[in-house]
Structures are given as C-alpha cells and as structure tokens.
C-alpha cells in the first residue's frame, strides 16, 4: 500500500510541522525522512493499522477544512498555522482525532531520532559522567537478601 505523491507531500507537511524553525530543537530540511518512516510503519503493520495510518494522514491533512472551515489542505497553510493546528488536534476532545494525530507524532519522532544529529541535539545520549552527583549517590537498597547500602 504505497503512498501517492500527494499523500507523501502531506506526510512531509504534517510531520515537519511538529517542529518550527524558532524552536530550541530544530530539524533542518532533509534531516528527517518522514516518508520513509511512514512507509516502514505501513509495510510492517497489519491491514487495519495500515489503513489507520493512511486515514490519519487524510484526517490531519484535511483538518483546515473540517476544523477551521477553510478550503485548504494542511500543506497550504503557513508553517506557524500548521503547527498550531496540529497542537490542537493532539488535544482534541474526540479520541479518534487525538489518537490519529498522536500516531503521526510517533511516526515523526521515529524519523527524527533516526538522524544522529537530531538525536545528539536532544541530549538523550549526553555523557553519563555529566549526570548530577545527587542522582548518582548510593541509596539504601532493598533486595531480596535484605537492605544493602
């Protein structure tokens, strides 16, 4: 179930809109391969989930129409407007909308963190010895053999 050209365009527009150029952790154009992540997700999922992913793309891409009453698709909105709308969908009162937007957010982060540069900027792998001494202090430890220190 390959995505069409316009679905691919929508995928990039949606997933790149989770971040903005003004934010602290930015993702440069081409740094994250959102279409690849969506295709891997779709290829590895069973039919119902594959359909769900495609529905998610359509629901979010057409959100300007059904959520804002504008005859536009998401990729036709200005960048800030896309991000704002997506943030609204993530908190939407309807479980279906919220769930579909969250599925796309997870797919976006799967693509983003595949990039070593983006992952490095997230700080997740910052060296262990930079950790605060207070979190590394030895605590009394309760084990099946009793209390150790």
Size of the site for another protein (CB under 8 A): 63
- Work out which of 3, 8, 35, 45 binds another protein, going by CB under 8 A: 45
Least distance CB 89 / another protein (angstroms)? 9
Residue selected from 30, 44, 69, 78 as contacting another protein according to rule CB under 8 A: 44
Given 12, 13, 77, 111, the residue binding another protein (CB under 8 A):
111
The reply to whether 12 sits near another protein by the rule CB under 8 A is: no
2 binds another protein (CB under 8 A): no
CB 83 within 8 A of CB 17: yes
Tokens encoding 23: 């934010």
């Amino acid at each position: 179930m390959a995505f069409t050209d316009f679905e691919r365009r929508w995928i990039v527009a949606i997933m790149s809109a989770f971040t903005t150029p003004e934010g602290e952790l930015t993702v440069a154009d081409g740094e994250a391969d959102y279409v690849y992540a969506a295709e891997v997700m779709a290829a590895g999922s069973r039919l119902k989930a594959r359909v769900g992913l495609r529905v998610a793309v359509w629901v979010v891409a057409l959100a300007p129409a059904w959520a804002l009453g504008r005859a536009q698709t998401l990729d036709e909105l200005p960048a800030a407007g896309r991000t704002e709308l997506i943030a609204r969908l993530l908190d939407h009162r309807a479980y279906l909308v919220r769930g579909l937007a969250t599925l796309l957010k997870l797919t976006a982060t799967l693509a983003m963190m595949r990039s070593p540069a983006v992952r490095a900027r997230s700080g997740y792998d910052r060296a262990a010895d930079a950790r605060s001494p207070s979190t590394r202090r030895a605590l009394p430890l309760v084990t099946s053999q009793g209390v150790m220190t």
